[in-house]
Structure formats: structure tokens, C-alpha cells
Amino acid sequence: MDEVISKSERDLLIHNKIDGSYQQEKIPNFWKDAASETGTAVSTLKESAKVARAFPKKERFSQLTFTHHKRVIGFDLKKRRKYLMACLPATKDGKPKPVDWLDKYIREQEGEQEIEAGMRYVRFNVSEEMWRKLKQVAKYYRTSVADLVRKDCTAALAAFLEEQARRISLAKYDLYEEGQWPFYEESPYNRKTKAAERKQRRRAREDHDPVVRERFRSIATSRWNRHERVA
């Protein structure tokens, strides 16, 4: 660490026990320094550190990626091992099952419904205590965790997006209309309209360009001399 971070400027506190007492040392921008040294994004480093803390080296499955391990962090130790072992190949030469397969397997085991057409998943981690309580409440109502929280989470997300639409619209345009999304949404109709507008603007510029006007006049004269119809 001393080779990466200067001892003269340190900002983050790390407590080291020296001669029976704790002393404080400061390290500047730990994650940024580590990311710069390793050539890895800060977010990637943090995710790797999270997995490393949840799975000490002896408890990891060498055939599986960090992403496999990351997917099961929210479960207890027994389920973590169960889900990861399900990804292992039947033979040493075989390949482990991909992360997408693991996601589907977890949904099946947890009793979650298959994703509907036109729908997408929003995933986020919760604490062990919160997950335990969610499981208990879901068990009480005889349903899955996903079905238990879907309605309230969807309503919360809708309110969040509406608030963001208002805030961003006011910041960008000083105007907000309820239900109006502040970002341009691509569609076949928009692409066709934009192409027509670009062609019209280009033609308008060309109409005011003497060189272009002379070239079109020459073409029209040539066609007229050949007794061709001039548009």
C-alpha cells in the first residue's frame, strides 16, 4: 500500500493496532488510487470487494465468476452454497452454467414468477435482516417475496420517475407539464421525421449556395436541351 499511496497526504482513516494501542493513518482517495493503479473502474472494485468479504477465498468456487457469487450474496450461507453448486459442471472439463441460468434457477427456487413480455427486472441488494423479515412476512401471507413487494415497489418507482421528470424538465427547460417525459425517445416515426427535417434543412442551405444553385441550373439546362422533363 505504501508503494501506491503517499504517506504525506492521507484522508481516509485506518485504525492500526501498534503496541497495544490504536493509531490512525490517513489514505487519500483510496478507491480512486486503487482504480488508477489497477486500471479497473471504482464500481467494479467495490463490487469485487463486496464479494470478497462475503466469500473468503476458501469458500469461493474457482470454476465460477465473481458475478455468480455476487448474485447469491443476499441469501443465507446454506442457500448460497446450494445455488452456486447448481452451476457447477458435471465433469471437470465442462463449463459452468452462465449467470443468466443462475438467475432463472434462483427465481424458480424462490417461487418468483417468470418475467412477462415487455417487462424488465429491477434488482437491488438488501440487508440480511431485511431479507429475513421479508421472507417471514411472505411466508405469513403464503406468497413470494416478489409478489409481496411488487405493488408497493412499482408505485414507489412511478412516484420517483414522476418527481425526476419534473425536476429534470424544470432544470432543462424551465417548464414542466404533468406526464411529460423530458428525454427524447427514439422511434421509427421519429427517425423518419428527423430524416425529412434534415433533408429539408440541407435543401434550404443548398438553395442559398451559389455554387450549388449554378450546378442545378446546369443540370436542368442540359436536360431541357435533351428534351427531358425538368421537375
The reply to whether 220 falls in a domain is yes
- One-letter amino acid at 58 equals K
Q: What is the pLDDT of residue 50?
A: 83
pLDDT(65) > 80 = yes
Query: Percent of the chain beyond pLDDT 70?
Result: 75
The reply to whether 51 falls in a domain is no
Q: What is the pLDDT of residue 226?
A: 74
Question: By the 8 A CB rule, do 83 and 106 touch?
Answer: yes
Tallying the residues shown for the chain, one arrives at: 231
Please tell me the total count of domains within the chain. Answer: 2
Q: What average pLDDT does range 129-146 have in this prediction?
A: 86
Lowest mean pLDDT among 8-12, 50-54, 130-134: 8-12
The reply to whether 46 falls in a domain is no
Write out the residue range of the structural domain in which residue 3 sits.
Answer: 1-39
Q: What average pLDDT does range 185-207 have in this prediction?
A: 68
Q: What average pLDDT does range 50-58 have in this prediction?
A: 85
What pLDDT, in 10s, does the model give residues 163-186?
A: 998 888 888 888 888 878 887 765
The reply to whether 199 falls in a domain is yes
pLDDT(14) > 80 = no
Rounded Cα distance between 93 and 96, Å, is: 10
Helix (H) or strand (E) holding 18: strand 12-18
The reply to whether 86 falls in a domain is no
pLDDT(96) > 50 = yes
pLDDT tier at 89, thresholds 50, 70, 90: confident
Q: What is the pLDDT of residue 5?
A: 45
Lowest mean pLDDT among 26-40, 41-55, 62-76, 182-196: 182-196
Rounded Cα distance between 190 and 147, Å, is: 37
For residue 142 the three cell numbers come to: 403464503
The reply to whether 160 falls in a domain is no
Higher-confidence position of 201 and 19: 201
The reply to whether 10 falls in a domain is yes
Question: By the 8 A CB rule, do 83 and 64 touch?
Answer: no
Q: What is the pLDDT of residue 156?
A: 92
The reply to whether 204 falls in a domain is yes
